[in-house]
Structure 1
Amino acid sequence: MKKNSTMILALLMGIFTLMSCENDNKDSKLSAQTFEPVAVTKTNETKIYMHYMAWFESKESSGNNTWGYHWTMANKNPDNVNANGKREIAAHYYPMIGPYHSGDKNVLENHLLMMKYAGVDGLLIDWYGTYDVNDYRMVKENTDALVQMLDKVGLEYAIVYEDRFLTNIVNAGLATTTVSAAKTDMAFLQSNYFGDSNYIKINDKPLLLNFGPITLQTPDEWTNVFSSVNPKPTFLTLWYESADAGANASGEYSWVYQDNSHLSNFYANSLPNLGVGMGSAYPGFRDFYAEGGGGEAIGWTIEHNNGATLDETLTLAKNAGVGHLQLITWNDFGEGTMIEPTLEFGYSYVEKVKAFAGVQSTVNVFPEISKLYDLRIEYKGNGEIQAKLDRIFGYFVSMQPQKAVELLNDFE
């Protein structure tokens, strides 16, 4: 009897060992699994791009232990935390994940997954160039980190060039002229971004937007700036500013200003005459400059109206039949144009973009994407759990949200 019991015990232990090995092999295979990004299926053929600010800096990330101007302006201190756990920031609205560093991998993962599942095709990244003046270098480094993550998520991107700051480069003694400074920036874009497979191309040329022109306001200057760029980009200026670039401009894009009538006028009177025209949609506009001591208020406000403004501007774009649409913006909290999930509006804005895009996925993953971010932070430094979260990220980017949610449920 004792002999039989021993044999049975040995047999059971063998089965247990075999099952453990199989589970270990399964976990090993999952850990080693690579995930290629898969595009979201949607019915709206309009190319939907999100204007994105890479200028945020947190105390933890900065080399000088500061939060950065775009969270503080002149008089706010995010180290001050209220009874509800909210930090004091220079904005009327509060990001759902709290104030952050734009180069943080976990933040970028969260933002890009939100956009992907909302049906956004790519990002238009506000960019100050390559020089180390003020916070321009930090914005460039954050943009580089963003571009790497974009490739993993499977979204496109293009640059929105801020020529307004070129004078600062010259005044700092880093370039002899504003044109030569701009040519240095273009050389960087040509070598590092324009050739990327996921860089946005229109008419087989890399797309480049300019927020202006503001400093370079003659066609000759832009001809010089683009003289070494091949092919010359599909270059879009702000609405009604393309004459400053002359034949170098391929068209214009609309922006947010005063009220929605300006958008209607652009669609009716300008868009039909442009070689390339890009529309815009936004949830509202309410700047914080005066309250934050960051300068004078812009002087006008477009109320959010519980999402009605975003609904209206999306409808205007649809009725105008725009082929390319810029959403203004993902995260300009200083001007209150953010579509990023906030405590005030929840996920309502990304849900509206998803509906406009005609995304076919019926799985509601926005809260689950937030949960992934929360777990990244909670288990920071835990390699085993981070590897599991990497698999969840992989399921999200490869459009297997059900599997991602199943793994996330293991943490409940």
Structure 2
Amino acid sequence: MVGSVLMNGYNRPFTQRGAEPPRHMHEQALQIGLRILLTLVLLLLASLARHTRLAGAASYRQSVHDRLVLALYYPWFDENTWTSGATPDLPAQPYASRDRTVMARHIQQAQQAGIDAFMVAWYGPKDGNPTETNLAALLDEAAARNFKIGILFETTSPFFAGPGDAAAALQHALTVHAGHPAFLRADGKPVILFWRPQLWSVDTWQSIRDQVDPSRSSLWIAEGVDTSYLRVFDGHYLYSNTWNPPTDLTYTNTKFARLVAQAEAALGAPKLWLATVMPGYDDTRTGRPNAFVQSREGGAYYERSWQAALASQPDWIVITSFNEWPEGTYIEPSQREGDRYLRLTATWSARFKQGTGVVQAASASPAQPVQPPPVDAPAPEPVDAPQPAPTEPTAYVDVLLLNLRAGPSTRHAIVGQLPQGAALTITGQDPRWPDWRQVRYNGQTGWVYAPLTTQAGPLARVPEVEAPALPPVLPVRLAQELPTWLLQTAGLLESPER
């Protein structure tokens, strides 16, 4: 209609026909249009920048031949952790693991220290537990910073009632998380480290993997002292090589490197050896009955740990840990240590990646000099004294201290400890537990982990016996209400594997 009034964005009337609107109104409309256009362009650029960062994070393909440095990372701390009295030290900045600014800070600290990826402890996706939500957030934060995240699969997760739950969780990990551009891959294969796979037999893991990863399109790395799991897994590492009583770090690393090489030759398939480095150990505030302290020695122990790891010529390095506070193995900045261990990590990770081998420690004090073995002549392994030819099946203890257990698993209670060199009479074996032997020593009967012994005598005469059943697992809520020492003594909670 002629003369009808329309309203522009400034609520100023002008006629639809007849006189043209004033010139300044054209200019205002033009300015509004330019602002809208500029906003759209900025939004487009921001979106492109984000996708470019994600693409950049995925563009570099790690290889199994790259010298990767991985750090175990624990995502379950909150404000109450630091007032519980359960840690031997405190972070320089106490935090809650769910805080994304903390995740970003940790990632930046790790990058500055030469760490390539965090292996994040994960309980599976059930109930949206914090390890699931924090893993997803860490992947996003890592993608924005060209960092990598892998999974440390917690086989003892309170959300796993059995192998079926673990298989479902692994399926979720490979179909959901492993597709993220920040997920750690080597030769295109997602990398997963496993904690305590010995909870189930090698055959059980074979079944799980055939179900979850039949084409072997991911890399599974097993933990522990039993290298027979390499029949199913693609590599091996030790969560801890800081034991009580202590063992020679160079001997321990070269021994397991040799066992992995032997498995590779026997199985006709490549296997990865991941050597572990630790700054020390202190779990004396956890309530464990076997808690102990390995002094950090002002950084000297950490440097010896690196030297011993490099002497074993590993494929990759595993740091235990970035932030395992209750066990005192953290390297993140602390109130007592400052950033000493990040700086040492930067030095040694650079040496590992440059292939410079074992060299003089960077910060050993004059009062405690570190004398590493030569690069081309690593420390020789101890030679066992010849044992007399036994007339009955016998196992000789190879390690400084071996646990005698009530049954053939680390879930069974420890009933005694056996010294190095002890001669144990083998009294039985259960075919369902091929790596364990029933033994008798000084009138006491129990079970020992056979790979930590040397067996001799007429082994064909060892009878088959039926091993005790696995101890029951307590409901999670009840287990949380009981002291750790009581659960371990009763065999209802795992105690250290040796």
Q: Give the TM-score normalised by structure 1.
A: 0.63
Aligned-partner SS, 1:354: helix
2 CA distance for matches of 1:196 and 1:272? 35
Consecutive unaligned residues of structure 2, counting only runs of 5 or more, are 1-37, 261-270, 354-498
The residue that corresponds to 1:54 in the other structure is 75
In the alignment, is residue 316 of structure 1 matched against residue 308 of structure 2? yes
Q: CA deviation at 1:247?
A: 2.0
Out of 234, 253, 269, which is 1:267 matched to? 253
Aligned-partner SS, 2:69: strand
Which letter does structure 2 place at the counterpart of 1:309?
Answer: Y
Aligned-partner SS, 2:156: helix
Out of 203-212 and 324-333, give the one that drifted further.
Answer: 203-212
1:147-175 deviation line (CA, Å, top 9, x unaligned): 11111111112211111236x543xxxxx
The question of whether the paired residues in 1 share the 8 Å contact of 2:206 and 2:232 is answered with: yes
The residue that corresponds to 1:278 in the other structure is 274
The residue that corresponds to 1:90 in the other structure is 86
The question of whether the paired residues in 2 share the 8 Å contact of 1:240 and 1:252 is answered with: no
The residue that corresponds to 1:254 in the other structure is 238
**Residues 7-406 of structure 1 aligned to structure 2 (within 5 Å):** 34=49, 36=53, 46-58=67-79, 67=80, 70-71=81-82, 76=84, 89-98=85-94, 100-132=95-127, 137-165=129-157, 169-170=160-161, 178-202=162-186, 204-216=188-200, 218-230=201-213, 231-232=215-216, 233-243=218-228, 245=229, 247-256=231-240, 257-258=242-243, 261=247, 263-274=249-260, 275-290=271-286, 295-358=287-350
1:261-311 deviation line (CA, Å, top 9, x unaligned): 354233222213422110111111011434xxxx32443221011111111
2 CA distance for matches of 1:332 and 1:159? 15
Which letter does structure 2 place at the counterpart of 1:56?
Answer: F
Which letter does structure 2 place at the counterpart of 1:227?
Answer: D
Aligned-partner SS, 2:211: coil
| Larger RCO (alpha carbons 8 Å, 6+ apart) | 1
Out of 193-202 and 346-355, give the one that drifted further.
Answer: 193-202
**Highest CA radius of gyration, 1 or 2?**
2
> Do the aligned partners of residues 305 and 215 (structure 1) sit closer, same or farther apart at CA in structure 2, a change above 3 Å counting?
same
Which letter does structure 2 place at the counterpart of 1:254?
Answer: L
Q: CA deviation at 1:328?
A: 0.9
Which letter does structure 2 place at the counterpart of 1:94?
Answer: L
2 CA distance for matches of 1:352 and 1:228? 42
1 CA distance for matches of 2:154 and 2:347? 32
The residue that corresponds to 1:8 in the other structure is none
The question of whether the paired residues in 2 share the 8 Å contact of 1:213 and 1:241 is answered with: no
> For this pair of structures, how many residues does the alignment match?
288
Aligned-partner SS, 1:189: helix
Q: CA deviation at 1:45?
A: 5.9
The question of whether the paired residues in 2 share the 8 Å contact of 1:331 and 1:339 is answered with: yes
The residue that corresponds to 1:82 in the other structure is none
Aligned-partner SS, 1:358: helix
Which letter does structure 2 place at the counterpart of 1:270?
Answer: F
Aligned-partner SS, 1:330: coil
Query: Higher strand proportion, which one?
Result: 2
1 CA distance for matches of 2:189 and 2:285? 37
1 CA distance for matches of 2:74 and 2:136? 13
Q: Give the TM-score normalised by structure 2.
A: 0.53
1 CA distance for matches of 2:289 and 2:69? 30
Query: Higher helix proportion, which one?
Result: 1
Consecutive unaligned residues of structure 1, counting only runs of 5 or more, are 1-24, 59-66, 77-88, 171-177, 361-412
The residue that corresponds to 1:380 in the other structure is none
Which letter does structure 1 place at the counterpart of 2:256?
Answer: S
Which letter does structure 1 place at the counterpart of 2:330?
Answer: M
Which letter does structure 1 place at the counterpart of 2:115?
Answer: V
Q: CA deviation at 1:92?
A: 1.5
> Do the aligned partners of residues 297 and 143 (structure 1) sit closer, same or farther apart at CA in structure 2, a change above 3 Å counting?
farther
Identity %: 19
Q: CA deviation at 1:110?
A: 0.7
Q: CA deviation at 1:342?
A: 0.7
Aligned-partner SS, 2:70: strand
- CA RMSD in angstroms comes to 3.1
> Do the aligned partners of residues 112 and 246 (structure 1) sit closer, same or farther apart at CA in structure 2, a change above 3 Å counting?
closer
